[in-house]
Structure 1
Amino acid sequence: MLLDHYYEGKVEAGCDEAGRGCLAGSVYAAAVILPVGYQNELLNDSKQLTEKRRYELREIIQRDAVAWAVGIVTPEEIDKINILNASILAMHRALDQLQVRPEAVIVDGNRFKKYKDLPHTTIVKGDGKYLSIAAASILAKTYRDDYMNQLAEEYPQYDWRSNKGYPTKKHREAIRQYGTTPYHRMSYNLLGDGQLSLDFKD
C-alpha cells in the first residue's frame, strides 16, 4: 500500500508528468490532491499498470480526489526552454488549475522549481511510493495517450497509437521516410544518430 501523505497536517498535491523521452507530442503533467487518509490498494506507478487498469483508475481518481488538474507544454515550447524546464512548467500549469489551493507539493523525480510560496519535496520513484503522485502519473499518462491517439489519426505512418511518440525503430524509420511533422520536437536527435540528450528520461 502506498503512503497517503508526506507533509503532516498540510493540504498536499502530488505531481508527475508523462512524455519526457518522446520525440513527438506535448509533455503532460498532472497534480492531484487526495482526501486525508485516502486508501486505494490498486493505485501504483502508471508504468506498472495495464492500459485497461490505468483508465479504470482514472475514473476513480477523478471521482475521489479533492482536486485534480492536467497541465500541457507543447513541442514548440519544449524546443524553446528544453524538456526539463518544460516538464516542470507542465506541473506548474497543472497546479495553477487546481480548484483547491495546496499547502505543499510532492513531485516524482529529483528536479523541480519552487511553485509560488509552497514547500516542495522531490521523491525519486515517488509514483511507486505516494498515492497522490501515483494518481498524478495515471492522469498524466492516460490524458497524454488520448492526445497521441488523436494525433495518430492524422499521422498514422509514425505508429503513434502504439509508441505514443517514443523513439521506437518504426518511429525513427518513418521520420527518415516521411520527414517530420509539426508535432515533432526539433531540438531532439530525431534519427538517433547519436545519444539522445535529455536532462532526464522516463
Structure 2
Amino acid sequence: MTQATLFAAEYGAPVALIAGCDEVGRGPWAGPVVAAAVVLDPAHPIAGLADSKLLSARRREELDAHIRAYSLAWSIAESSVEEIDQRNILQATLLAMQRAVAALPCKIDLLLVDGNQTPQVAMPCRAIVGGDAVQPAISAASIIAKVYRDRLMTELAQRYPGYGFERHSGYGTAAHRAALLTLGPCAVHRRSFAPIRRLLAQSIRPPTLKDVVS
C-alpha cells in the first residue's frame, strides 16, 4: 500500500500529490528564515534523502541538484529580517512556509510539515515532529532550503564583510560574537533577538546600524 493510499484512507479523500515542507534558519542571529516545499516524483526516487543537518555540505549540494531535477515540483520562499523582528520568529517561519506552498506550480492534496506547528494553507496539513528524518519529501525540502540559505549567507558575507556569514550562516558562534563586539550589528542582524538587542542597548558602537551598501 502506497503512502498516498494510506493518507487517502485516513482523510477520506483522494490524495494524489503530497508535498513536504521544512524551514531553515530559525536560530541564527542574522539573515532571513527560509522555507521550501517539495513534491517528489514516485517514478524517480532520490536515494540518500535525510535531515539536512546530518549531511555534509557536499552531499547536500549533490542532493539539491537531484531534487530540483527529478521532483514533480519544488519552491523556496523567505521571511525577511524585518518580518522576523516585527512578527517574531515563529510567525515569520510559518509565513515563509505559507509562501513556499503557495509558490508550488501544482495543486497538492496534502502537506506534510516538519515540527509541531502548521502554516495557514488551503489543503489538509499534518505536522510531524522530526519529519525531516522520516518523510522523504520533508527531507528534500530541508535540503534545498539549507543549500539556498547557505548560498544566500555567502552572498551577504560579501555585502557585509567581517562577520563571517560564509562560515557560520549567521548562527551565534564565538567568531560571530567576536565580530559583533568589534563591528556592531549590521542591517541583516535580527534586532529582536536577545544577543543583538543587548548589544544595541549597551551602545558598544555608535547607535546607528553599520550598513555597507554594495
**2:62 alignment partner in structure 1:** 56
Alpha-carbon distance in structure 1 between the residues aligned to 2:196 and 2:95: 27
**Is 1:126 equivalent to 2:163 in the alignment?**
no
- Structure 1: stretches of 5+ with no match in the other structure: 194-202
**1:7 alignment partner in structure 2:** 7
- 1:7 maps to a residue whose letter is F
**2:107 alignment partner in structure 1:** 101
Q: CA deviation at 1:65?
A: 0.7
- 1:147 maps to a residue whose letter is L
Matches within 5 A, 1:1-202: 7-8=7-8, 9-36=15-42, 39-116=45-122, 118-190=123-195
Residues 137-193 of structure 1, C-alpha deviations (whole Å, 9 max, x = no match): 001000000100001112231111110000111111211211111100000012597
Residues 106-128 of structure 1, C-alpha deviations (whole Å, 9 max, x = no match): 00011113312x11100111011
Alignment length (residue pairs)? 190
Alpha-carbon distance in structure 2 between the residues aligned to 1:158 and 1:113: 32
**Aligned partner of residue 146 in structure 1, secondary structure:** helix
> Normalized against structure 2, the TM-score is what?
0.84
Contact 1:70 1:94 in 2 (8 A): yes
**Aligned partner of residue 194 in structure 2, secondary structure:** coil
Identify the structure with the greater helix proportion. Answer: 2
Aligned-residue sequence identity (percent) comes to 41
- Structure 2: stretches of 5+ with no match in the other structure: 9-14, 199-214
**Aligned partner of residue 144 in structure 2, secondary structure:** helix
Root mean square deviation of aligned Cα: 1.8
Q: CA deviation at 1:40?
A: 2.7
Greater RCO structure (CA 8 Å; 6+ sep): 1
